Structure 1
Amino acid sequence: MKYWCLRMGLAALLLTEAVGCGMVRSLGKNPEGGELARLDTLPNYKNGSFENLAERSDSTVKRSRLRMMLHRRPETIRPSHALPWVKTDLKTLAAPAPIVVWFGHSSLLIKTGQGNILIDPIFSNHAGPVPGLITAFPGTKHYHAEDMPPIDVLIISHDHYDHLDYRTLKKLKDHIKTAIVPMGVGSDLVYWGFDPKKIIELNWNQSVILPGGLRVTATPAQHRSNRSYTKENKTLWASYVIQADQYRLFYSGDSGYGPHFKQIGQQYGPFDLALLECGQYSPNWPWTHLWLGQAAQAAVDLHARLLQPIHWAKFVEADHPWNEPIKRLLPAAKKLGIPVNVPRIGEPYTLGDPPKQVVWWDFE
């Protein structure tokens, strides 16, 4: 009886702490009621869940993530010292051509003549509902929500914690004019206090033209969604095509390799820049992320003139060395004739300029 009471007391304490730090709120909210009826009409939503173009099993992913949390990881999965970074005044950047600023992992600011685009921002320095479990690398923590200029459009690729961050969006909410999200993800934003009128949900191959002239199209990706282990694929995941004036950019979100890259390239390419994930691959989830060098092949499929790797250099989510993705991508891209842009965190890159090629990641 005493043991039971101790356990209940500890559970109550943990719940109180969770509520206090926003953990419970950060779990978000899946679509329900009339929203579900709307999703039931979509061709890629079947039996209560969204599906990939080529459907895959999630059972291996669930088991492997638990195993990874329990076993000891190699020291090289984190850098031995702080990553180099550049402090940029994001509010004064001029954009004669689109300017891309990367903040590590998949967080990006794209400044264009038609408006400011913020993609998958995570400035809370950890990925997940529990602070301190998946922490950001030193050198990647210098940009905050307060550093962002007014955001004309927020783009979210899917509902995983390292892309949809409650604490960051809570701070940015009142500075965002429009949020573009995959189908179902709007439920999370509404739950967190966003005005539903400012949220645009897109299914694959649906487009929207914003007042400033930006055209954003959601395109397929090969991934999955969930913010808890009990409810999976209740919201959609997507990549995006962004058209600003004569420029075309592609953002992969999270996606394994598949024929959808060629389809997107044929339908929407060529692209001036492809922002493609290149890290957090693992044999434990072989189909949800691009593997070694596959980002280069995806860039070829997309008819991209320039490749910039993302989804690396901020968090540990797999067991590979932190800088292995870029070390393996560069020779693969060279072999395929794809130029690669690798700026430092916070370092602005203007489309049309020579790629950033200073080797800043060559240490353990």
Structure 2
Amino acid sequence: MKNKYIVQGVLGLILSGLAACGIVRSLGENPQGNDLSRLDSLSNYKDGWFQNDSARPKLLGRHNPFMALAGRRETLRPSYSLPWVSIDLNKLPAPAPTLVWFGHSSVLIKTEKANILIDPVFSDHAGPVPGLVTAFKGTTHYHAKDMPPINVLIISHDHYDHLDYNTLKKLKDQITRIIAPVGVGSHLRYWGFDPAKIIELNWNQTIELPNNLNITATAAQHRSNRTYKEESKTLWASFVIKTGEYKIFYSGDSGYGGHFKQIGQKYGPFDLALLECGQYSPNWPWTHLQFGETAQAAADLQARMIQPVHWGKFAEGNHPWNEPIKMLIPSAKKLGIPVNAPRIGEPYTLGDPPKTAVWWDFD
């Protein structure tokens, strides 16, 4: 009995410590009560969880995060500090939409009348516990305080490398409106965001916004969870961003599937596709794009140019850190699709020649 109380006391101290440093709160909160009951009417929510259009292969079983650690290579992380460009994000030109990439999937899009921020992660790690999935050297020079006023924040799903509690806490007062897949708003409301600012979309739902913006949530092939216990209680999505005559696609996280061609047929062609490229693994071949699939997805989307995201900041797969971009360029060339690969912080304006200088090949 005495040992029981000792264990309970130790666990209590651990939980108190985690709560004190914000780790427990960063877990968020899945839909509850009325938020949960509203999900039952959705066609892609069945048996208590969101489901993809394509059935998950039975052989995969449950995702095991520890398998990603097996067989990791020395080149998993760059041996040098990655190059970056320092700019004033409040003074970006916008004759056409201008994009700035901050590593991984964090992107700012400056249009003539608005600032759109996608999946911002400005922490030095991805996950609830610091020190496990740490950012590469040279990728943490931009912070929440450097961002201009954000007219629209887009969140693709609730994984920690896309929905970062510490970053959003700092950005909170700069954000006018948030677009997120169904269910993700529960996390945001739990963190104190004004419910009136949050718009949750299911696949193929569109919202017309001020400043000449039109945003549509589209399908992706992925999953969601912020704890290992509860999976796919919130939706994941890709997005079509239309501003004036320009159209940009953002994949979020997604495995390859027929949804890319369907999106291309319904919403394309696209001036630029921000497509995930990296953090693939034999452990999750179904939920991330593998070799050659990023270029093929762009072709299916009828994209005029690819800009790879989901690489260049965190090591979450078990491949060399720069392998994704090295594999993408020749596969895209075969399909006749240019690749835009700017450095972190380096602006790119739609219509300009793609950024092609090789800055990733020094290992």
TM-score grouping bracket, smaller chain normalisation:
over 0.9
Corresponding residue number in structure 2 for 1:20: 20
Corresponding residue number in structure 2 for 1:332: 331
Aligned-partner Cα distance in 2 for 1:26–1:174? 18
Corresponding residue number in structure 1 for 2:267: 268
Q: Is the 8 A contact 1:61 1:285 kept in 2?
A: no
Q: State the Cα distance separating 1:75 from its structure 2 match.
A: 1.4
Aligned-partner Cα distance in 1 for 2:15–2:87? 39
| Match status 1:90 vs 2:89 | yes
Deviations 1:248-277 (A, max 9, x none): 000000000000000000000000000000
Q: Is the 8 A contact 1:158 1:225 kept in 2?
A: yes
| Match status 1:211 vs 2:216 | no
1:211/1:99 CA distance change after superposition, 3 Å: same
Corresponding residue number in structure 2 for 1:312: 311
User: What is the identity, as a one-letter code, of the residue corresponding to 2:31?
Assistant: P
User: What is the identity, as a one-letter code, of the residue corresponding to 1:132?
Assistant: G
Corresponding residue number in structure 2 for 1:228: 227
1:230/1:58 CA distance change after superposition, 3 Å: farther
1:58/1:9 CA distance change after superposition, 3 Å: farther
| Match status 1:238 vs 2:237 | yes
Aligned-partner Cα distance in 1 for 2:63–2:255? 19
Q: Is the 8 A contact 1:225 1:237 kept in 2?
A: yes
Q: Is the 8 A contact 1:86 1:344 kept in 2?
A: yes
Deviations 1:290-341 (A, max 9, x none): 0012111111101111100000010011100000000011110011111000
Q: State the Cα distance separating 1:10 from its structure 2 match.
A: 3.7
Corresponding residue number in structure 1 for 2:282: 283
Q: Is the 8 A contact 2:71 2:318 kept in 1?
A: no
Corresponding residue number in structure 2 for 1:102: 101
1:58/1:348 CA distance change after superposition, 3 Å: farther
Q: Is the 8 A contact 1:61 1:284 kept in 2?
A: no
Q: Is the 8 A contact 2:63 2:284 kept in 1?
A: no
Q: Is the 8 A contact 1:97 1:112 kept in 2?
A: yes
SS of the residue aligned with 2:89? coil
Aligned-residue Cα RMSD (Å) equals 1.5
Corresponding residue number in structure 2 for 1:111: 110
Provide TM-score, normalisation by structure 1.
Answer: 0.97
Q: How many residues align?
A: 363
Q: How does 1:31-46 map to 2 (within 5 A)?
A: 31-46=31-46
Q: How does 1:70-149 map to 2 (within 5 A)?
A: 71=70, 73-149=72-148
Deviations 1:44-90 (A, max 9, x none): 11111111001215884645322334x46221100001110001110
Q: Is the 8 A contact 2:222 2:254 kept in 1?
A: yes
Provide TM-score, normalisation by structure 2.
Answer: 0.97
1:74/1:4 CA distance change after superposition, 3 Å: farther
Q: Is the 8 A contact 2:72 2:319 kept in 1?
A: no
1:227/1:58 CA distance change after superposition, 3 Å: farther
Q: State the Cα distance separating 1:130 from its structure 2 match.
A: 0.5
Aligned-partner Cα distance in 2 for 1:64–1:15? 24
Deviates more, 1:6-15 or 1:292-301: 6-15
SS of the residue aligned with 1:84? coil
Aligned-partner Cα distance in 2 for 1:2–1:270? 68
Q: State the Cα distance separating 1:14 from its structure 2 match.
A: 2.3
SS of the residue aligned with 2:90? coil
1:232/1:170 CA distance change after superposition, 3 Å: same
Deviations 1:66-125 (A, max 9, x none): 2334x4622110000111000111011121100000000000000001310000000011
Identical residues among aligned pairs (%): 68
1:63/1:301 CA distance change after superposition, 3 Å: closer
Q: For structure 1, which runs of at least 5 residues remain unmatched after alignment?
A: none
Q: For structure 2, which runs of at least 5 residues remain unmatched after alignment?
A: none
User: What is the identity, as a one-letter code, of the residue corresponding to 2:235?
Assistant: L
User: What is the identity, as a one-letter code, of the residue corresponding to 1:344?
Assistant: R
